[in-house]
Amino acid sequence: MFNSIARRKSALTKSAVAVVVTALGLYATAASAQTITSNQTGTNNGYYYSFWKQDNNGSVSMTLGSGGNYSTNWSGINNFTAGKGWSTGARRNITFSGSFNGGNNGYLAIYGWTTSPLIEYYIVENYGSWTPPGGSSLGTVTSDGGTYNIYKLHRSNAPCITGNNCDFDQFWSVRTTKRSSGTVNTCNHFNAWASKGMNLGTFNYQILETEGYQSSGSSNVTVGDGGSCSGGSSSSSSSSSSGGGGSGTITVRARGTSGQEQIQLVVNNTTVATWTLTTSYANYTVNNSATSNILVKFINDASNRDVQVDYIIAGGQTKQAESQTYNTGVYQNGSCGGGSGHSEWLNCNGAIGF
């Protein structure tokens, strides 16, 4: 009898403790949640956050949850953007999951800014009944199991990260099949934009944003860092034919020493693509059937910038950079292009011919 009573007492004690602990946990969670209704930026649970609304029309709030989680609710607003991420953007894989209701005009996107040049960019994963941003697509990029339309728009006298009357370009990738969870390889989009002459500058902040424009809706999402990306798993196409055209592809495998280097692919004296390199090798591909008269050209040499070209694949044939005699960018015998080529390196503005 004593043992039975003792066991029941022990069980009741544990139950009481569990109730208290659970209540404390719920209280702590509620106490740590922060709801925002005014323009601000900051850090919450290890993530940068940003909240901006254009004016006081309608209502909008952002509640900061644990880790990379946040939720939003908006009704009858003019324009707002809110989200969590990083104070400095990067070429990274970004994970996200949750729920999203964009109403008639809202979107869930990887969103950020660069300076020099001033660029506002969007990789839109989900949206309401209206498909942003309007206008004509410049082509597509295929990445992370989906196809995205690419757009470039210009804004004049608009709010930006440096003031309220700014002139800047917007770069957009808009997914054709909506989703509220997955992984975004930002490198694939940045490279696809660069291939169309849409070059980013120095990264400012980068977030998984919820945005609403003259609409009502809600979201509850969580963002995470999936690690650095290389951009080797995408393909892009253009809405207009490029010089050389055709059904084949040309792939360039290259890297930069600083991650700021830009190269161009020139086919038959026509520039068909421009890319910004990472410091790790990546493959950059365009649709083009040429197999000769191909140049890989380094175009923005500066201190501590060099390009290393591993090879190209054209017409299904791999051509090693070090096997080519035409190289006007390698530093040999005291000058740029002063040797016999046979090098993977472009130390100066110049090109390797294939």
Catalytic residue positions, numbered: 120, 211
Q: Are 284 and 340 in contact (CB under 8 A)?
A: no
Residue 82 contacts residue 51 (beta carbons within 8 Å):
yes
DSSP string, 1-27: -HHHHHHHHHHHHHHHHHHHHHHHHHH
Cα(115)–Cα(73) distance, integer angstroms? 30
Could you tell me the sign of the dihedral formed by the alpha carbons of 15, 20, 26, 28, in that order?
A: negative
DSSP assignment of 46-60 equals TEEEEEEESSSSSEE
Look at the block and give the residue holding tokens 């253009």. 238
Cα–Cα dist 295/244, whole Å = 13
Let me know: does 102 contact 217? Beta carbons within 8 Å. yes
Say if CB 123 and CB 107 are below 8 A apart: no
- Integer Cα distance of 70 and 202 in angstroms: 27
Helix (H) or strand (E) holding 28: helix 2-32
Phi, psi of 51 (to 5 degrees): -135, 125
The whole-angstrom separation of Cα 132 and Cα 239 is 18
Distance (Å, whole) CA 110 – CA 107:
10
